[in-house]
Amino acid sequence: MPLCDFAEHVNAPGSSVNPKDRGQIIGRVDVSEPASISSGIAARYAQAVFELAKDQSELKDLEKNVNDLGEALAASEDLRNLVTSPVYTRDEMGSAIVEIAKKMGLLPVVANTLGLMATKRRLFVVPAMLTTLRALIAEHNGEVTAEVTSAKALTKTQQDKLVKVLKAQTGKDVKIEAAVDETLIGGLVVKVGSKMIDTSIRSKLNSLTNVMKEVG
């Protein structure tokens, strides 16, 4: 099934989202720091965590930690505020991270890194760090990570179908990192590595608007 056909299927009138699939959504956190600086900081932390976990044969546990943290960010507004709000002191962020790490059973390398980020007031790059870690783990496992943004949350069945489509196109096993952006109206935005596939209605409307401006 071509990706454009899959996008139309996902957003068909009869398509609905099962509440049980809400946990598949990985939340995104907007930050004011310039994207290039944030991504650079996140990449350095992610690479260090990945290498340490790899040396200690803990990549499988690291993958679980990454998924758990992603789901926690999506579900908890308090946690999102902790990593993005400038009102918290270093001590407050550090204490909160210690409690979160204990409650979630995070690996020492993950807990220590988050603690370090708290003392340096760099928790705002946690979402980007998680994204980079997913990509590093996927590459190690011979997989590719597809960042998929849709107007509505994808069900497990829809994600499985999309995985098959992308696997046929890339020739590799694919892991989905899903997010929701209601402004897309319909369709999907899929990013695999440096390649971007935009089948969203918003994109088509923007293109039409540009054409109309040129005509005018």
| Higher pLDDT among residues 19 and 175, named by residue | 175
* H or E, element range at 178: strand 173-180
The predicted pLDDT at position 214 comes to: 58
The residue range of the domain holding 152 is 3-17+143-215
**Rounded Cα gap, residues 216 and 207, in angstroms:** 14
CATH label of the domain that carries residue 208: 3.30.1330
Please tell me whether residues 155 and 207 are part of one structural domain. Answer: yes
**Rounded Cα gap, residues 76 and 92, in angstroms:** 17
Please tell me whether residues 129 and 165 are part of one structural domain. Answer: no
Which of 165, 167, 137 has the alpha carbon at shortest distance from 54? 137
Q: What is the mean pLDDT of residues 132-159?
A: 87
Tell me, what DSSP letter sits at residue 173?
E
The tokens describing 6, both together, are 């899959």
145-147-152 Cα angle (round to 5):
135
Q: Is residue 26 part of a domain?
A: no
- Residue 117 pLDDT greater than 70, yes or no: yes
- Residue 8 pLDDT greater than 70, yes or no: no
Mean pLDDT of the chain: 81
**Rounded Cα gap, residues 68 and 21, in angstroms:** 15
User: 84, 111, 136 — which closes off a domain?
Assistant: 136
- Residue 57 pLDDT greater than 50, yes or no: yes
- This prediction has a pTM of 0.63
At 148-185, the pLDDT tens digits run 888 888 888 988 988 888 888 888 888 888 888 888 87
CATH label of the domain that carries residue 79: 1.10.520.20
Other Cβ atoms less than 10 A from the Cβ of 5: the count is 11
What SS3 state is found at 79?
helix
Q: What is the mean pLDDT of residues 126-149?
A: 89
Q: Is residue 30 part of a domain?
A: no
Identity of the highest mean pLDDT range in 29-33, 63-67, 143-147, 169-173: 63-67
The answer to whether the beta carbons of residues 92 and 51 sit under 8 Å apart is no
Please tell me whether residues 109 and 178 are part of one structural domain. Answer: no
